[in-house]
Structure 1
Amino acid sequence: MRLFGLTISREKALAPVDNRDGWFPLIREPFTGAWQQNQEVKLDSVLAHSTVFRCISLIASDVAKMRLRLVAQDADGIWSETDSPAYSPVLRKPNRWQNRIQFFTAWMESKLIRGNTYVLKERDNRGVVVRLYVLAPDRVKPLVADDGSVFYELQQDALSGLPQNAVTVPASEIIHDRWNTLFHPLVGLSPIFAAGLAATQGLAIQNNSARFFTNGSQPGGVLTAPGAISDETAARLKAHWGANYTGQNVGKVAVLGDGLHYEPMAVKATDAQLIEQLKWSAETVCSVFGVPAYKVGVGTAPVYNNVEALNQAYYTDCIQIHIESVELCLDEGLGIGVGVKVGGQVFGTEFDLDDLLRMDTATQVKTLSEATRGMLMKPDEARKKLGFGKVAGGDAVYAQQQDFSLAALAKRDQSDPFAKPDTPSAPEAPVAANDDNELQAARALIALQKGLANVRR
């Protein structure tokens, strides 16, 4: 068959990858036999945990909000933004139904929830990638041939243009971004694999708290009788009490007879430790995803007011690996990158980190001013970062007049800078040569003076 202009066939024996726990199932047991005890970890329930939801949405949105640039490397090895009719269009608009932010959000959500992101490439007649589609991870299966070649089995996906089930494509047509390949190099693991139990515990605490407050914040009580009563009577009294004096009926007046007495059961907040348990479960989820707890509303933010330092720590510890991975996957998927020349140029993809690592206005102005004075930036480059236009003379690097280059200083120091200069002798006064008589008279006078000097001696 032909798919996106390529002939797809199955000429080699293919075997599915041993997934073990690689493709995160809808239900996972935290320990053997947990399913029989109703202690399974359900993916859809875990995603409802507020901290899990926020960690995934925070990382995905932070990666997606950065503008992806096509850059080219010059002869000096410097990367600068450029434009190419072969690569720029697909980076600006990956496919017909997603813009750039939606595309990379789907990319990161698939990776964070399932541990794998599968992107199908669509090529034109030239073989150039013109569209990219993020596939549903549970509808893709890696396959390995006897000779080690990698293929992917794709299920039907009308939105991505897959017309039928079980289409097998070579690895060259799939961009596979994976994370935490603990069991197999082709199968990633989601952080939910490690955070699922903590999230389930947090949800259980919240559900119990909801039921507790639905019951009017009453922990329940004991209805006692002075003598023995039958099971039927006990069941009838319990049902009557539950129907008339619990839930929305809490606070109503109860009339007891035959010596019946109601004693409420009190539960101390320190015994329940709900707040501490909820905080622990949320912090555990944050630690698994690598997100600082204060960014998702758990705990307090650092006391020092340095936005750049906080964002730099978040970038280094959490999302740098995702950014670098997306850039490298796109370079390899588009057939560009370091060492690959296309039309005599080396292209690459690069996220604009200025959209993420924002500094406060005062720090940014100070930094740009120092960079301009330190001959690291041109004035127009600094003004552009602040949203200002170009000015006359701004496309040049400036230095102070009293500054000397290192080469000039080295040339000066070739001789001894502390040596005393020689005192030059006064030159003889020049004699006008335009008057021969005066010249001869002057010479005769000098000779006469020398002769008189000798006589005196």
Structure 2
Amino acid sequence: MRLFGLNITREKAAPGARQIDTRQGWLSVVREPFSGAWQRNVEVDQKTVLAFHAVFACMTLIAGDIAKLRVKLMALQEGVWSEVSNPAYSPVLRRPNRFQTRNQFWETWILSKLARGNTYALKERDARGVVKALYILDPARVRPLVTPDGSVYYELCTDNLARIEEPTIVVPAAEIMHDRFNCLFHPLVGLSPIYACGLAATQGLQIQNNSTRFFANGSKPGGLLIAPGKIDDANALRLKDYWDNNFSGENAGKIAVLGDGLKYEALAVNADDAQLIEQLKLTAEIVCSTFHVPPYKIGVGALPSYNNVQALNVEYYSQCLQSLIEAIETCLDEGLGTGEQLGTEFDIDNLLRMDGVTQMQVLKEGAGILKIDEMRAKLDKKPTEGGDAVYLQQQNYSLAALAKRDAAADPFGTSSSAAATPDPAANDNVDQVQAAKALLTMMKGLPGVRR
């Protein structure tokens, strides 16, 4: 069949090609969260873990912060990268596909990478072979294939949004942008950070579920009904049903009358003894550490004591966002085929925006380096007359001029001989004044010149 201008085959990979199963992401291989977990049927469910507040907050924070950044097309001009527009690349950067805005596209890209460890973007080309659209594929419906000679292909399943109507097709790696995260076990299989924090997230969810059941039961923990003598199974079941129906849930807190020497003893450990709040906070901090997000960004822990917004944002960018952003830029440059003179770059100015006082101080210190219009552009101000120039104070001298001065016998003119030496520039000024006076005297004698 023909897909996006390419001849795509539905045939299976060449004999001997090895299929790498990534349909279940990090859950495709049995990996125990602790020793013996598999035998005890204890597993970390990815979809359930995504409901943990710290995992959800970290993923949406990172995806939202990157999605709000604009992707610029840059060109190398006279050794400096400057923003340009190009009909072959700019349209797809402004609107990646027909059903997603730029922000939605990048959110989907990052969420797929963080949740499943892999992002697969399928290219759609026009008649010229230029990429005109990009579609983020479901990682569960993509399988990398490796041939005996090392060539890489991707097996894709039906995806109506990406206009893949065949049950399965195989496309070459040149038609897929594959952004993978934490390739610990295979260079074509990325691992999600959930692989490392899944157990902590599961523990946090269990704590929340237990607390929900605890408070749903009127904050009354479960316990034991103890009889002084032996009772048969029928009476034990009758007493249990009677107690559950009359003194649990909405009926918790009612007065119970016990006879025949029955005694009630609380069984569950109270929240104070179990230190649930500290445990829940610990699980959230573990999740933040695997996503490299400062805990205070998602409301876990206290804010840093120093008041410097830019320093906090730079820390967050360098330890969390920078690697993700640069990985996307590399995928775009190679996937779009921009070459050596063109490239893509995220505009991180909004992310690292300074407070007003600091920003004005930085622009002030930039005088002599930046043009006035360049400074005004940083403040979203229009160019002004005379602003397309670099201004510098007059008392500044070049190093070459200072070197010539220092090379003189008496660079500062402190000796008496230097004082006695006539200054040619001063003589020139005197001659000019005398010539002006003589010209004025001559003009006074001419007719029509007022005396």
Query: What TM-score do you get using the length of structure 1 for normalisation?
Result: 0.86
Runs of 4+ in structure 1 deviating by more than 6 angstroms, as ranges, are none
Percent identity, please: 59
Whichever residue aligns with residue 375 of structure 2, its letter is: A
- Change in CA separation of 1:14 and 1:396 when aligned onto 2, cut-off 3 Å: farther
1:3 alignment counterpart: 3
Farther-moved stretch of structure 1 (257-266 vs 80-89)? 257-266
Q: Distance in 2 between matches of 1:264 and 1:123?
A: 68
The aligned runs of 1:415-434 (5 Å cut-off) are 415-416=408-409, 417=411, 420=415, 421=418, 423-424=420-421
Counterpart among 116, 119, 131 of residue 117 in structure 1: 119
Counterpart among 343, 347, 355 of residue 342 in structure 2: 347
Q: Distance in 1 between matches of 2:103 and 2:241?
A: 56
Deviation at 1:162, TM superposition (A): 1.0
Deviation at 1:177, TM superposition (A): 0.6
The aligned runs of 1:252-401 (5 Å cut-off) are 252-265=254-267, 267-337=269-339, 340=340, 346-371=341-366, 373=367, 375-401=368-394
Whichever residue aligns with residue 74 of structure 1, its letter is: Q
Is 1:412 matched with 2:409?
Answer: no
The aligned runs of 1:26-425 (5 Å cut-off) are 29-31=32-34, 34-75=37-78, 77-265=79-267, 267-337=269-339, 340=340, 346-371=341-366, 373=367, 375-416=368-409, 417=411, 420=415, 421=418, 423-424=420-421
Q: Distance in 2 between matches of 1:231 and 1:355?
A: 70
Whichever residue aligns with residue 74 of structure 2, its letter is: V
Whichever residue aligns with residue 71 of structure 1, its letter is: M
Q: Show structure 2 runs of 5+ residues with no match.
A: 423-451
Q: Distance in 2 between matches of 1:20 and 1:70?
A: 33
Query: What secondary structure sits across from 2:315 in the alignment?
Result: helix
**Is the Cα–Cα contact under 8 Å of residues 174 and 335 in structure 2 kept in the other structure?**
yes
Whichever residue aligns with residue 384 of structure 2, its letter is: V
- Change in CA separation of 1:155 and 1:409 when aligned onto 2, cut-off 3 Å: same
Q: Show structure 1 runs of 5+ residues with no match.
A: 341-345, 426-457
Root-mean-square deviation (Å): 2.2
**Is the Cα–Cα contact under 8 Å of residues 20 and 144 in structure 2 kept in the other structure?**
no
Q: Distance in 2 between matches of 1:424 and 1:281?
A: 84
**Is the Cα–Cα contact under 8 Å of residues 116 and 178 in structure 1 kept in the other structure?**
yes
- Change in CA separation of 1:232 and 1:156 when aligned onto 2, cut-off 3 Å: same
Q: Distance in 1 between matches of 2:229 and 2:129?
A: 90
Q: Distance in 2 between matches of 1:139 and 1:307?
A: 42
Whichever residue aligns with residue 233 of structure 1, its letter is: N
Deviation at 1:19, TM superposition (A): 4.5
Q: Distance in 2 between matches of 1:353 and 1:18?
A: 36
- Change in CA separation of 1:30 and 1:368 when aligned onto 2, cut-off 3 Å: same
Q: Could you report, residue by residue, the CA deviation over 1:110-147 in whole angstroms, capped at 9, with x for unpaired residues?
A: 11011111111111111111111111111111111121
1:454 alignment counterpart: none
Whichever residue aligns with residue 221 of structure 2, its letter is: P
Whichever residue aligns with residue 358 of structure 1, its letter is: R
- Change in CA separation of 1:350 and 1:223 when aligned onto 2, cut-off 3 Å: same
2:440 alignment counterpart: none
Query: What secondary structure sits across from 1:202 in the alignment?
Result: helix
Whichever residue aligns with residue 124 of structure 2, its letter is: E
Q: Distance in 1 between matches of 2:262 and 2:16?
A: 75
Matched length:
416
Farther-moved stretch of structure 1 (223-232 vs 193-202)? 223-232
Query: What secondary structure sits across from 2:195 in the alignment?
Result: helix
Whichever residue aligns with residue 397 of structure 1, its letter is: V
- Change in CA separation of 1:172 and 1:6 when aligned onto 2, cut-off 3 Å: same
**Is the Cα–Cα contact under 8 Å of residues 18 and 184 in structure 1 kept in the other structure?**
no
Q: Could you report, residue by residue, the CA deviation over 1:180-218 in whole angstroms, capped at 9, with x for unpaired residues?
A: 111111111111111111111111111111111111111
Q: Distance in 1 between matches of 2:169 and 2:203?
A: 40
**Is the Cα–Cα contact under 8 Å of residues 155 and 164 in structure 1 kept in the other structure?**
yes
**Is the Cα–Cα contact under 8 Å of residues 14 and 143 in structure 1 kept in the other structure?**
no
Q: Distance in 2 between matches of 1:202 and 1:250?
A: 26
**Is the Cα–Cα contact under 8 Å of residues 115 and 179 in structure 1 kept in the other structure?**
yes
Query: What TM-score do you get using the length of structure 2 for normalisation?
Result: 0.87
Whichever residue aligns with residue 360 of structure 1, its letter is: D
